[in-house]
Amino acid sequence: MDYARNSWYMSNGDDDPADASEGADAADDGGEAGESTETAAPTLPEDPTEESLTEYLDEIADRLDAAETEADLDDVEALLDDAETGIEEADLPEPDEDDEDADDPRSDLDDRVAELRDGVEDARGPYGEDVVEAIETAAGTVEDTEWTEDGHDEVAAAVASFVDAAAETVDPDAGPDGDEIADLVAALDAVAEAVADAGLDADDDADDIAALLEATDGLEADLDDAEEWDDLETHEQLRAQGYYDVLGHYKDYPVEWAALKEHEARGNVDMILLALDSLGSDFMERHCLEAFERMGKRGKTEASVEEVLGRAEKRDRPAIRILGKMAATEATDTLVEYVEEDSNP
């Protein structure tokens, strides 16, 4: 092909111009035909050397860059298998054990193969399974996170929006049946099942997979933005749960103590437990326990007995005294083993 082109440029005038023109056209046609022909796969050198193996890996790298389908990537992986065999069997110089900086051709080639294998894996997919995994992760976040009231509404809106977006690609049975966490998780599970049943192909359904992953990315972002309890400061959590609602115009300091005294007067055991669990100061812990002791039987609930009993099991005398004030007979069997003959009555 190149010879025909060169002979036309280098004509000394004796040649027939028409013949030269025909030769050039033929060469051009051959070039176009060559461009449309798929490049032949590289061949592992018969007597591999460091140089020939490096060239072979360069050719494989070019094929990896040009790969467009999973089948193309499978072909590249097969070539890398051949390269690995060739490197293993090649008679390559071994590094000088006494020289830490000595060249190690075999190790360098192995590293190149590993790098190309990583490139193959990075180029694969995405797959329908990736979409299913992302949805299942989101469902786990919805179910396992403790959301605030505002956050719950935000999560419900995010799930509804995602289900609508996914419905443009797959056909889930239905959207959420309600705003309860279980309803939202069930809706996400239904979409994940629909995606799995669709059998999406990484090549043929690439656009659908991309659209679904975009929708799952949006869902993940919305869940990250939704308000959860851990996002709030302690006083914000208490305010959100109504702890301060009992306070009137006049407030003692600190306000947590003022609210505690009002909850004690009203017999709000759950709110005293909330303060005991949320407020970490020794001051508030002492006042919460003293409130239970003063309340006696009024402060006895299953939750309060469980809380105080946990402290009593650590031989905490005030906790044991509180259980007595509560007349918590169910704690007797647990506490009797701690009572010694010479203990306080």
Residues 216 and 249 reside in one and the same domain: no
**End position of a domain, from candidates 231, 260, 284:** 231
Question: pLDDT tens digits for 219-272?
Answer: 999 999 999 988 888 888 898 889 999 987 656 678 899 999 999 999 999 999
14 — pLDDT class (breaks 50, 70, 90): very low
Residues 200 and 245 reside in one and the same domain: no
Residues 275 and 325 reside in one and the same domain: yes
Residues 18 and 66 reside in one and the same domain: no
**End position of a domain, from candidates 97, 123, 149:** 123
Span 153-168, average pLDDT: 95
Tokens of 215: 């929708």
Nearest one of 190, 222, 207 to 126, comparing CA atoms: 207
Are 273 and 303 a contacting pair, CB within 8 Å?
A: yes
The whole-angstrom separation of Cα 244 and Cα 262 is 10
The answer to whether residue 103 sits within a structural domain is yes
pLDDT of residue 42: 83
What number of other Cβ atoms are within 10 A of residue 70's Cβ?
15
| Dihedral sign of CA atoms 48, 49, 54, 58 in order | negative
Q: Which domain holds residue 85?
A: 50-123
Nearest one of 42, 45, 41, 40 to 86, comparing CA atoms: 45
Span 30-50, average pLDDT: 66
Span 325-333, average pLDDT: 80
pLDDT of residue 295: 95
Question: pLDDT tens digits for 88-124?
Answer: 888 888 877 766 777 888 889 999 999 999 999 888 8
* Distance separating the N- and C-terminal Cα atoms of the chain: 112
Nearest one of 157, 196, 198, 206 to 179, comparing CA atoms: 157
Residues 216 and 254 reside in one and the same domain: no
Residues 155 and 210 reside in one and the same domain: yes
Kindly report the backbone phi and psi dihedral angles of residue 147, in degrees, each rounded to the nearest multiple of 5, phi listed first: -90, 150
Whether the link from the prior residue into 254 is cis, omega within 30° of 0, is: yes
Whether 49 shows a pLDDT value over 90: the answer reads no
Total domains, the chain: 4
Span 6-12, average pLDDT: 38
Whether 70 shows a pLDDT value over 70: the answer reads yes
pLDDT of residue 174: 66
The gap from C-alpha 141 to its chain's centroid, in whole angstroms, comes to: 10
The answer to whether residue 246 sits within a structural domain is yes
Who has greater pLDDT, 292 or 343? 292
What number of other Cβ atoms are within 10 A of residue 335's Cβ?
17
Question: pLDDT tens digits for 167-209?
Answer: 999 987 766 778 899 999 999 999 999 999 999 999 899 999 9
Q: Strand locations in the chain, DSSP E?
A: none
* 153-162, 168-177, 310-319: range with lowest mean pLDDT: 168-177
288 — pLDDT class (breaks 50, 70, 90): very high
21 — pLDDT class (breaks 50, 70, 90): very low
337 — pLDDT class (breaks 50, 70, 90): low
Tokens of 204: 């043929």
Q: How many helices (H) and strands (E) does the chain have?
A: 16, 0
Whether 28 shows a pLDDT value over 60: the answer reads no
126-145 b/e (C-beta count within 10 Å ≥ 16 → b): eebebbbebbeebbebbeeb
Residues 257 and 309 reside in one and the same domain: yes
The answer to whether residue 306 sits within a structural domain is yes
The answer to whether residue 220 sits within a structural domain is yes
Whether 57 shows a pLDDT value over 70: the answer reads yes
At position 97, the amino acid (one-letter code) is E
Residues 263 and 328 reside in one and the same domain: yes
